[in-house]
Structure formats: structure tokens, C-alpha cells
Structure 1
Amino acid sequence: MTLLITGATGYIGQRLSALATASGHEVICATRQPCPAPYAWLPYDLRGPAPECPTGTQALIHLAADTSTGVHTGADDEVKAAQALIRCAQQGSARFIFVSSQTADATASSAYGRTKWRIEQEVLAAGGIVVRPGQVYGGPERGLFGLLTGLVRRSPFIPIIMPAPCVQPIHVDDLAASILAIVERDDIHAEILNLGAVQPIAFGRFLKSIAVHRVRATRLPIPLPVALLRLLRLSLGQSLSSKLGLERVFSLIHLPPMDSARSLQKLGIQLRPLAHGMHRSGHGQRRGLLQEAAILLNYLLKRPPQRSLVRRYARALERADRNRPIIHSRVMMRWPILLTLLDNPGVLHQPEGRELSWRLQVALGIAEASPQGAQVFLAAQRPCSLFATLIALGLTSVKALMWQIAALLGRPFTRQLLLGSEAHREA
């Protein structure tokens, strides 16, 4: 199909254009600045007239919006621009898809949300389709996600707003795939589609996920009452509050929940886990394999493994089409020696332990075939006296007995030790 996309160089538009082109569609970018190849370019500005809809355009996707903190395009101007685009699509017999916001409401606390709601009414009256995404995240650090990530990266604290607002995250690539699914369907008309996580999560947990999986840093949670934020906004004034991003925070505080299960099911879209989507690649499976490799190899070598060995383990499992890690415990990442509780016949011979047994063998083969492994397994030890040797053997026997007792006592908890992690729960 031929798709005309306004705001194609924005956070969502850039990913949508790339995915549409990869799917075989022709993309025409309606933007202020020229678009890079292979996209065709149509000059367009929200403050100017609507472009002529090129012949053969099947869908016009309206993403352009004024997100600046200064005074540029007014609310009335944005609504008029949308009306002109709707007429443009009607003249070219193209479907009109408007990407709105979860904040859209006639009584929204922000002008942004009220403007989106007004545009929605125009789109629905013309038989167009409205997409309301939740908290968009992932990919490049742009938009509100870029603002939040920057704050988490620079600050040693995570603000826990009280009472806690909730968000319904959706990865930017999942949103792009959803929009394309709408484009390729001809049975959706004059409808609002809610796209985001089915179960809302606390905003503080979303920030914590950014810290853990994106920034990879520990941040201290600090309670932040909404009343204090209101006082800060009042003291700063509306203009400065907007520049600092405080108005966006308030739009989250008053965010209405949305029912997204029906829309996701209708489009056949399954959202990726939040922990996976926070990874720069958008997929956390390889990172999970690398973490699993570090645990297994550290356990076998009794020291941190070289990076080349970690990558070799991940490649070996990917070639065997076993892309999902089975060890998710953050406790075990800190103390790989706890694998001793699992490395015994009572666990490895169970159905859940057979896969771990196989992966231990893979890690052992990689370790033994490496120079680092050779130093550990084959290096000559310094000569010791008979007394020192007997003491070492005795200590080894005592430690082995203690671990056997610990493994026996901890057997009911081995599954939690293997699988218990935030990433696994989010999956």
C-alpha cells in the first residue's frame, strides 16, 4: 500500500515508517524537513495548508502534533489542521487514522488531552479510526520516554508519586505493528482502539524498570506527595512548569485507565514484556542468555568468565533454537555459588532440571575448551605438604556435605531460586 504519514520523523513516526517499508509498503513522509531515502517526501507543517493527497494513497496516518513547551501552534490551529487532513484523505478516498493519546478527554487536566479529544470527534464523525496508545517506551530515548529516562539516568532517586498513578506501557515497535495491522484491515471504521498493557502498573514501577533494565543502575525510591507537586507548579508558574516537563507529569497523575484487551485481541497483537522492551534492542532474550551464561560459567570456573565465553554460550543456545533463558533469579546473578543447590541428581533428573543439566554441559564444554578453563582445570598447583593436602581434602569434604544438606533442605524452594525474578513475572 501507499501510506501518507504526518510526523514521520517523530518518535513513533520514525519506527512506523521503517516497519512499513520493511513490510513492503510505500511511505510518503509529510514533514517540515526532508526525509531520508527510501521515503518520498511531501512538505507539510501543522501551521500551513494540508498537502494534496497523492494519487493511490490508501491510508493517511496523522501523527504530527505540537509537543513543544513554548507557544507555537494553538489548540484551534491543531484541530483545523486535522480537519484539513481529513478532507484531504476523503478527496483521495484514503482511510484516515489518527494517533491520539490516553489523556484524550473533554475534561482532561491538560490542554494537550483536550485538544486530542476534539480532534478525535472530527475523525470519528468522518468515519476515521482513532488509536489511543498508553505510555509509549523503548527504542530511541525520545518523547516522554526520553524525558523520563534522562531523569532516571541523572538522578540518584526515583520519585514515588503518592497516591500512585498507573500507566499502561506499550513498546514503540508494538504500537507501530498495531497501526500497520489497522492499515491492513478493511473492517475497522469509526472506532477507538486502546493500545497498551492490559494490566496497569504503578508509575513508580515503570520508573524502576527504566532504572534496572535501561539505565542498569540502582535508584533510591523517594515518596513524592501530589500536593507537593501542585505547590511546586503553583510557585513556578505555568510557563516554567511546562518547560520543566511538570505538566506532563500531571497528565500522568490524572490518567484514566483504558480497556485495551479487546483492541489487542481484535488486532492480534501480543505485547512484549516490559523488561524485554526496555532493552535497547527491544528484545531481552539475548541479554537473559548472556546473564545466564555469566552465572553458569562463573559457577564452573569459580571466577568471572571472559566476555568471549559468555557470548559463545549465547550463540550456542541460539543455534540450538533455545533462545529463552531458564535462570532468571537476580539472587543467583549475585551469588552463582547457589547453583550448587540445583546441581544435584535430585533436581537435574526432574523434568524442570533436565534443561538446566543440558545447559550446564554446554557451559562446561565451552569452559573446558578455553584458555581460562585450562588454567582452572589443568594448571599445575603449587606443591603442598602432606599435612596441607589432608587439611584441604577435609575442608572440601565438609563443604560438599554442607551443600548436600543445604540442597536437601532447600529442595522445595529450588523452583523459586531458578525462576524467581522481576523479568519472569513481567513476562
Structure 2
Amino acid sequence: MRYAITGTTGLVGGTLRRWLEARGHEVRALDRVVGGGGARFVLGEPIARDALAGVHALVHCAHDWRPRAWADVERVNVAGSLALFRSSETAGVPRRLFVSTISAWEGGRSQYGRGKLAVEAAVRAAGGLVVRPGLVWGADGRGMFAGLARVARLPVLPLFDGGRQPLFLVHVEDLAALLAHAIERAPAGGPPITAAHPEPLTFRAVLERLAAQHGRRPRFVPVPGALVLAGLRAAEVLGAGLAFRSDSLLGLLHANPAPDFTPQAALGLRPRPFAGASGE
């Protein structure tokens, strides 16, 4: 089977590419920098006509983290994703999957989640598939989870609003398997598939487990989430490079407390429970 995957230089797209190639599938990487056998793809820019020729399945993992203002998120990530899926329909790609986020729900407030949610409806209406990964773990150094792992090494850890926020986690290898199974088995245009272990951990519990990986017993300092959010936004305006983005905190503070795991169960898959920082 020939797949086209956007964002193969990222954590999810790269893991999915390796997972598929290890099982004999052909992968055409659609990235900003073109590699061997791939094609150039940049969100917000037209894609070459032949980039999707002969492809059996498209998996859209790419996301541009640079836009900060909502208007730019809409222009780059929302409109760019919709244009890609229109091109895939024109090219006759039979199976199309959008990698969304568990933060994409009606009560979400993060720009990341709102942007993904704006794409979901159009993808499903055109017969595409939507997968909403939880917090991805199992690979060091990337993504929001890596930011949490760095925070957990601090001698004093901030605890936002009591640390009761629910986190649903998914190992990156389990996510790759679920994406491949969804392409093969999920009904076209079906409900979003939440990809995560169905039993949540609180934000505090995750920090405690991450700290324990380094032999630490964390000392927590309670802080108001709104105050930290304001501080992160101010630091971002000043150009500070932060391990944890303000938009990620916004998604954490307004997380979906009860995602629907029925579509995931219908695929016969149940991601492993969280085991620690590296998943070893």
C-alpha cells in the first residue's frame, strides 16, 4: 500500500513512517524539506499536482507551530489543511486521515484544539477519518510531553489549580499502530477516534511519575493557572524560548474530562498505560 504522510520529520509522522515501512508499505514523505522519493509540502502553500499521484492513503500529521495569532492559525493550519484534503480528493486518494488532537472538542479553548476542530468537520463530511491523539509519550525530547519531563526535573514544581486536570496518554508506537488500523478498517466519515489509554492520570500524578524516573520526590507549589498563563504569554511576546507553551497550558486547563473511546474500542486496540518518561 502506498501512503503519503505529511510531517514525517515530526514525532508522530516520523514514527508512523517507520512503522509502515517496517511492514512493507511504501511511504511518500510530504515535508518542507524534500527527501528521497518525497515531495515538498508546506502548510498554506499549494501542493504540486503529482505529489499525491498513485497514493492509496493520505495521513496528515503536519502542524505549523509558528503562528501565534488566531488569524494566522486559520490561514496557515486550518486553510492549509483544508486545501491539502481538497487536493487529495481531486487526486482520487481513496483513504484520507487527519491527525487532530484530544484538545479538539466543543469546550476547548486552546488555539491548537480550535484549529484542529475547524478542520475535522470538513474532513469527515468528505468521507475522511479523524484521529484525536492524547498526550503522546515514549520518545524523549519532543512535544508537550518532553516539556513536562523537563519541568519534572526542577526542585520545585508548579501545580496549576491543584493539578487535578485529567491527562489521557498514548505511547507513540501504539498511536502509529492505531493510525494504520484506522486507515484500513475505520468507516469513512465516522466519528472522531480518540487515541489514548482510556483511564486518565491527573496532571499531578504524571509529574510525580516523571520525577520518580530521576529519583526525585517533587515539592509542589500551588499556583493559579490564570496567573501562570499570563506570565507565559508575556514571556512569549518578549521572544523567550519556553519548554511549555501558553497555548499548551490553556489546553491543559480546559481539557475534555470525558472523551468518547467507543470508536477506538471498535478497532480492537487499547494503548498501553503510562509507564514513565521513556516507556522502557
Aligned residue identity for 1:41: G
Post-superposition CA distance 1:265-284 (Å, at most 9, x none): 11221222211xx353x34x
Residue aligning to 1:111: 111
CA distance in 2, matches of 1:15, 1:217: 30
Where 2:27 maps in the other structure, the secondary structure is strand
Post-superposition CA distance 1:307-351 (Å, at most 9, x none): xxxxxxxxxxxxxxxxxxxxxxxxxxxxxxxxxxxxxxxxxxxxx
CA distance in 2, matches of 1:266, 1:67: 32
Aligned residue identity for 2:148: L
Where 2:141 maps in the other structure, the secondary structure is coil
Relative to its length, the structure with more helix (as a share) is: 1
Aligned residue identity for 1:65: H
Larger Rg: 1
Unaligned runs of 5+ in 2: none
Unaligned runs of 5+ in 1: 284-427
Post-superposition CA distance 1:337-368 (Å, at most 9, x none): xxxxxxxxxxxxxxxxxxxxxxxxxxxxxxxx
Q: Given the superposition, is the C-alpha separation of residues 263 and 211 from structure 1 closer, same or farther in structure 2, using an over 3 Å criterion? A: farther
Say yes or no: does 1:96 pair with 2:96.
Answer: yes
Say yes or no: does 1:64 pair with 2:58.
Answer: no
Q: Given the superposition, is the C-alpha separation of residues 16 and 216 from structure 1 closer, same or farther in structure 2, using an over 3 Å criterion? A: farther
Q: Given the superposition, is the C-alpha separation of residues 108 and 279 from structure 1 closer, same or farther in structure 2, using an over 3 Å criterion? A: closer
Where 1:158 maps in the other structure, the secondary structure is strand
Where 2:117 maps in the other structure, the secondary structure is helix
Where 2:38 maps in the other structure, the secondary structure is strand
Where 1:149 maps in the other structure, the secondary structure is helix
Post-superposition CA distance 1:381-402 (Å, at most 9, x none): xxxxxxxxxxxxxxxxxxxxxx
Where 2:185 maps in the other structure, the secondary structure is coil
Post-superposition CA distance 1:141-180 (Å, at most 9, x none): 2011121112223x11232222421110111111111001
TM-score normalised over the length of structure 1? 0.59
Residue aligning to 1:191: 191
Residue aligning to 2:219: 220
Where 2:17 maps in the other structure, the secondary structure is helix
CA distance in 2, matches of 1:242, 1:48: 28
Q: State the shift of 1:241 in Å.
A: 8.9
Aligned residue identity for 1:189: G
Q: State the shift of 1:122 in Å.
A: 1.5
Where 2:158 maps in the other structure, the secondary structure is strand
Aligned residue identity for 1:218: R
Relative to its length, the structure with more strand (as a share) is: 2
Say yes or no: does 1:55 pair with 2:43.
Answer: no
Residue aligning to 1:79: 78
Contact 1:105–1:116 (Cα < 8 Å) also in 2: no
Contact 1:2–1:58 (Cα < 8 Å) also in 2: yes
Post-superposition CA distance 1:41-70 (Å, at most 9, x none): 111111310233433311111111112366
Map 1:22-41 to 2 at 5 A: 22-35=22-35, 40-41=37-38
Map 1:257-276 to 2 at 5 A: 257-275=257-275
Q: State the shift of 1:132 in Å.
A: 0.7
CA distance in 2, matches of 1:176, 1:136: 11
Q: Given the superposition, is the C-alpha separation of residues 228 and 62 from structure 1 closer, same or farther in structure 2, using an over 3 Å criterion? A: same
Q: State the shift of 1:14 in Å.
A: 1.0
CA distance in 2, matches of 1:167, 1:229: 19
TM-score normalised over the length of structure 2? 0.87
Map 1:306-325 to 2 at 5 A: none
Aligned residue identity for 1:272: R
Aligned residue identity for 2:77: E
Say yes or no: does 1:43 pair with 2:40.
Answer: yes
Contact 2:127–2:188 (Cα < 8 Å) also in 1: no
What count of residue pairs does the alignment treat as equivalent? 274
Residue aligning to 1:203: 203
Contact 1:103–1:113 (Cα < 8 Å) also in 2: yes
Where 1:23 maps in the other structure, the secondary structure is coil
Greater shift, 240-249 or 2-11, is seen at 240-249
- Identity score, percent: 30
Q: Given the superposition, is the C-alpha separation of residues 13 and 120 from structure 1 closer, same or farther in structure 2, using an over 3 Å criterion? A: same
Residue aligning to 2:143: 143
CA distance in 2, matches of 1:87, 1:106: 24
Aligned residue identity for 1:22: A
